Structure 1
Amino acid sequence: MAERIDGHTLLIGLMAYPIRHSMSPTMHNNAFAKLGLNYAYLAFEVDNNNLADAVLSIKALDMRGSNVSMPNKQKIIPYLDRLDSAAEMCGAVNTVVNDNGVLTGYTTDGIGFVKALKNEGIDVSGKKMVITGAGGAGTPIAVQSALDGAAEIKIFNQEDDIYPVAQHNAQMITERTNSTASVHHLEDKDDFKEALAGCDIYCDATNVGMGKLKDKTLVSDPSWFHKDMVVLDTVYSPRETKLMQVAQEAGVNHVFNGLEMMLEQGAAAFKLWTDEEMPVDYIRNLLFSED
């Protein structure tokens, strides 16, 4: 890193809280080094309280842009100048690009999710999906899955301030794509259990399973799963979440953490900032190597 940084190095950030666990700096800085690109990527602990100042710093410091994660993916939108069509449809942003002081918000989470499954030979087209969480990751996953042909998407969320937003998003998906989307109360365990029994793909897009919630899972009973389904937890630290352990106990054939999704959404963001393709195989080997 020290050998690459000079007076022309452009800074790219990651703004979220908590974020010290993130593998994104490792991913992007190694990709920059591999391709000889003069960028540096740093993680900044930013929450809703200091988000406005942080976004101003992108312009003030002439940063090339930033990634955005929880809890800022939706809150950042009013501070941006433009949104691409997917981000506007999702109402969430995870990547900001600074073009001469004009900040444009994009979402690459859904792209990362769909591509991660494709890398495993799994196509969302025609599939019935259940997604828990309708926040900054869950919504792009639902939207992109619908755009890529998922037949039915059931979104489960707590009855909080996000719930009406989820309802609006589901209506929009149903009206604008060939998929049918609906929102359900996560508190209704019978409905949740029934939905899982009938789905092809289950994605947990909440933060349950990480940080202080690392020993928690929304599904603790293995009988709720069936072996032919896909279970993907967007959490990747720890590498094996409690949800994954339950799915494996149930004999589910396809159980994944969020590493591949993180890699592929990062590759899409990398392209937006640099106009270069990330060396995905090289970075995958770094991220997936044994500790």
Structure 2
Amino acid sequence: MNDKMITGHTGLTCLLGSPVAHSISPAMHNESFRYHGLDYVYLAFDVKQEQFSQAVAGLISMDARGWNCTMPHKRLMYERADILSEEAKLIGAVNTVVQNNGVLTGYNTDGKGYMTAVRDAGYDITGQKMTLLGAGGAAASIVAQAALDGVTQIDLMARKGSSWDEIRAVADRVNSRTACRVQLYELQDEQQMKKSIRESRILVNASSVGMSPHEEGCLVPERDFFHPELIVSDVIYHPAKTRLLQMAEEAGCSTFNGMYMLLYQGAYAFELWTGKQMPIGLIKEKYFAV
């Protein structure tokens, strides 16, 4: 929380989702408000799906500056927004809202967070091929933003389950609206997975496989799927080094986890609300030091 007093003039920003008690977003944003001397506060509200519409109506009534949405509200917020950013239209989900006089503009900063983390790690994947594992919201946001940022080919490997049609729709939108070519394959096709990975500059695990407490999980079955020029990344940051990243390092690959994706998606939201840049160095030092 900010050192200063909360007053009748303090602007409200927040997180809507369930659960939210674990979120680092309040610490990041309140530290950044304090750094810039801004009279804002960021709170986290545990809002169930059936409470979502009432919560949004309340935030509009209270003239909140904006908010983040996490599960299970990203697609609901997409449907509720009055205006959508380019990446939100491709993804079909919203994680950041700016509120102006009751008009809600929806953005999705998750993919931007990932692509900025790639650049922060020192890599340029413009014009390159990506292989991505997963079919959920993280996968959709990364596919869309990678295409917008100049990745020319993406092989997307997903399980044929409840999210298959949704991720296929994202792939179709990206193919029709950008210069990137997205191919969708079944995750169980190990021969295709090996071919895709060996042709790629970067591999992304955008699934929850390998997340604590199931740290032994890994979607890539063998180390020989990798090649030394491959960058391997994981959206997971707990544990800091998943089984996938361990295998990749053993094969001579460069790796990074999802920690800075989390940081940068928040930084983009902060800038949308305030017009100022989050103090990245300070936030890294205080909340993301390894």
Q: Could you tell me the TM-score, scaled by structure 2's length?
A: 0.91
C-alpha distance in 2 between matches for 1:215 and 1:54 = 38
Question: Matches of 2:44 and 2:234 in 1, distance apart?
Answer: 23
Deviation at 1:275, TM superposition (A): 1.2
Query: Are the equivalent residues in 1 in contact too, given 2:2–2:31 (CA < 8 A)?
Result: no
Equivalent position of 1:62 in the other structure = 63
Given that 1:201 and 1:229 are in contact with CA atoms closer than 8 Å, whether structure 2 keeps it comes out as: yes
Q: Which amino acid aligns with 1:66?
A: W
Q: State the Cα distance separating 1:165 from its structure 2 match.
A: 2.4
Distance 1:94 1:49 in 2: 18
Once the two structures are superposed, what CA deviation does each residue of 1:41-88 show, in whole Å capped at 9, x if it has no partner?
Answer: 122333534333332332233322211223322232222222122211
Cross-structure match for 2:134: 133
The equivalent residue for 2:248 is 247
The corresponding residue for 2:280 is: 280
Aligned to 1:155, what secondary structure does the other structure show?
strand
Residue in 1 that maps onto 2:222:
221
Quote the sequence identity (%): 40
- Tell which deviates more after alignment, 209-218 or 38-47: 209-218
For the structure 1 residues 96 and 161, does the alpha-carbon distance in structure 2 shift closer, same or farther, using more than 3 Å as the test? same
Q: Which residue of 1 aligns with 2:85?
A: 84
Q: CA RMSD in A?
A: 2.0
Q: What one-letter code is carried by the residue in structure 2 that aligns with 1:122?
A: Y
Q: How many angstroms apart in 2 are the aligned matches of 1:114 and 1:80?
A: 24
Shift of 1:180: 0.8
Once residues 56 and 125 of structure 1 are traced to their aligned partners in structure 2, the CA distance between those partners, rounded to angstroms, is: 41
* Unaligned segments of structure 1, at least 5 residues: none
Q: Aligned partners of 1:243 and 1:125: how far apart in 2?
A: 24
Q: Secondary structure at the match of 2:49?
A: coil
Q: What is the match of residue 258 of structure 2?
A: 258
The SS at the match of 1:130 is strand
The 1:267/1:189 distance shift into structure 2, 3 A limit, reads same
Equivalent AA in structure 1 for residue 275 of structure 2: D
Q: How many angstroms apart in 1 are the aligned matches of 2:25 and 2:162?
A: 29
Distance 1:26 1:209 in 2: 26
In structure 1, C-alpha distance between the alignment counterparts of 2:135 and 2:155, rounded to whole Å: 11
- The CA deviation at 1:120 is 2.0
CA distances 1:218-270 after superposition (whole Å, capped 9, x unpaired): 22532322221111111223322232223223331x21111112222211111
TM-score, with structure 1 as normaliser = 0.90
The answer to whether the 8 Å contact 1:167/1:182 transfers is no
Gap regions ≥5 residues in structure 2 = none
Equivalent in the alignment of 2:153:
152
